[in-house]
Structure 1
Amino acid sequence: MLKIESVQVSYGAIEAVKGVSMEVRAGEVVAIIGANGAGKSTLLKSICGLEPVVGGRILLDGEDLARVPAHRRVALGVAMSPEGRGVFADQTVRENLLLGAYGRRKDPVSVEAAIAREFQRFPRLAERQHQLSGTLSGGEQQMLAISRALMSEPRLLLLDEPSLGLAPLIIKDIFEAIRQLRRSGLTILLVEQMARQALAVADRAYVLETGRITLEGAGRALLDDAKVRAAYLGAH
């Protein structure tokens, strides 16, 4: 579904992503792990059109996205739940979800069905649907960010650090939601610092270090890799 070929992304003279190549097949969960500053979030932003690439190609079902603006990529089936959640703080939970479905606004019946589905996925959102999103807890905001991305009915969901800053019980809920989405057949590209949880849920994974892919393989295989364990899992 997604093929990245020698992609380069720069911030001025600083090359943040250095010729990365990878792929995501339909129905897979693929994880990208790596330290802070490795280029993980920059790579996701380049896929959804928030960072321009200076070299290489990003192909979605064979179509080069290089000149496709971000809003058109949503229409093509790409949606992202960003690092830091990025909820619209002065809008209610329900209004955030409606904004996520903006491209489908001419079909209100299906939009309402999608909202009901997300309230079933995360019952806390249903309880707080008329509450301003800025007053939610961090975990509730993360649930909202994921649900808002799903409101566009994407074929490819990009999740950027969904566990960041959350309590262990909330992290467990978030990863259970990822497993449910996987079972539904949704294709997911997951960037996550909690490497153990990411590798456990992923079909395949890539290790990104200073803008380059240094290792790739099945999620379970990388869990047992000595270098990965030493660098990211606190094991030797």
Structure 2
Amino acid sequence: MRPRKSRPEREAIVLKLQDVEMAYGAIRAIKGVSLEVRQGEVVAIIGSNGAGKTTLLKGIVGLERVAGGRILIDGKDCTDVPPHKRVALGLALSPEGRGVFADQSVQDNLLLGGYSQRKDRRKVEELVEREFARFPRLKERRQQMAGTLSGGEQQMLAISRALMSEPRLLLLDEPSLGLAPMVVADIFRSIRALRDSGLTIVLVEQMANKALAEADRAYVLETGRVTLQGAGRDLLKHPDVRAAYLGKH
């Protein structure tokens, strides 16, 4: 069992959503969602396909418009702040489907991820080498086109590209999607290492058992609403969660 952070280290609220609403035309995709993420936590968001998990993450980073409510980063209302300024505030997203630049090399993908650091060339080079140390397979393929990588390698690249901006809050959208079990194990080892380094993480994950086992706290999203919340391990034992997402009664 991993050691828990002491209370003082977990007081600061990095991200807070207050009654957030999002819509696609007349369809309300997110309906009054409120949640918070404290410094150093892993917070999981689980739910079935179509529950609104990806939409919510896009709203947090500014890639989709919020129709109501507020998004606060370090207590500052950032609801209408553009995406690039949210990166400067310390947010980074590793998107569902990886979203690598297929016709660019592994190294160029990382350099694009470090665009916000571009004025300090030496620092960018150090960050690239840091990510190659994190995922040695990427170093072996540094000049390979990203579109030719395996699914697991593309996921490693997507995470590393997000980390190039040195975020305080990393949002991971379905990092295990479509990957073989051994690769999934590698990805979750990396998530644990990032958590242990002190990084704050929001994890959207289809494998609810793995997400809840790693999470300090978690939220269950159903048709755009939060229906349950609590400690990750508590929700792992909750009968409704077990029946709906773990195939157990």
Whether TM-score is above 0.5 comes out as: yes
Q: Does 1:11 align with 2:24?
A: yes
Residue 100 (structure 2) aligned to one of 64, 84, 87: 87
Residue 72 (structure 1) aligned to one of 63, 85, 110: 85
SS at match of 1:47: helix
SS at match of 2:211: helix
Q: Does 1:41 align with 2:54?
A: yes
Counterpart residue type for residue 17 of structure 2: I
In structure 2, the partner of 1:134 is 147
- Aligned counterparts of 2:21 and 2:184: Cα–Cα separation in 1: 32
Counterpart residue type for residue 81 of structure 1: S
- Aligned counterparts of 2:209 and 2:55: Cα–Cα separation in 1: 22
- Aligned counterparts of 1:95 and 1:172: Cα–Cα separation in 2: 26
SS at match of 2:72: strand
SS at match of 2:156: helix
Residue 116 (structure 1) aligned to one of 126, 129, 135: 129
- Aligned counterparts of 1:200 and 1:66: Cα–Cα separation in 2: 31
Shift of 1:144: 0.2
Q: Does 1:149 align with 2:179?
A: no
Q: Does 1:191 align with 2:201?
A: no
In structure 2, the partner of 1:214 is 227
The TM-score, its normalising length taken from structure 2, stands at 0.94
Counterpart residue type for residue 35 of structure 1: S
- Aligned counterparts of 2:129 and 2:248: Cα–Cα separation in 1: 42
- Aligned counterparts of 1:90 and 1:205: Cα–Cα separation in 2: 37
SS at match of 1:228: helix
Counterpart residue type for residue 53 of structure 1: V
In structure 1, the partner of 2:8 is none
- Aligned counterparts of 1:173 and 1:186: Cα–Cα separation in 2: 18
Identity %: 72
SS at match of 2:203: strand
- Structure 1: which 5+ residue stretches go unaligned? none
Residue 238 (structure 2) aligned to one of 225, 228, 231: 225
Residue 57 (structure 1) aligned to one of 42, 49, 70: 70
Shift of 1:117: 1.1
Counterpart residue type for residue 158 of structure 1: L
Residue 192 (structure 2) aligned to one of 151, 161, 179: 179
Shift of 1:112: 1.2
Structure 1 residues 16-48: Cα deviation after superposition (integer angstroms, max 9, x where no partner):
000000000000000000000000000000000
SS at match of 1:153: coil
Shift of 1:134: 0.4
In structure 1, the partner of 2:109 is 96
- Aligned counterparts of 1:192 and 1:41: Cα–Cα separation in 2: 10
- Aligned counterparts of 2:218 and 2:34: Cα–Cα separation in 1: 13
Residue 213 (structure 2) aligned to one of 156, 176, 200: 200
Counterpart residue type for residue 136 of structure 1: L
- Structure 2: which 5+ residue stretches go unaligned? 1-13
Cα root mean square deviation, aligned = 0.5
SS at match of 1:185: coil
- Aligned counterparts of 2:240 and 2:40: Cα–Cα separation in 1: 28
Structure 1 residues 90-112: Cα deviation after superposition (integer angstroms, max 9, x where no partner):
00000000000001011111111
Structure 1 residues 182-205: Cα deviation after superposition (integer angstroms, max 9, x where no partner):
000000001011000000111000
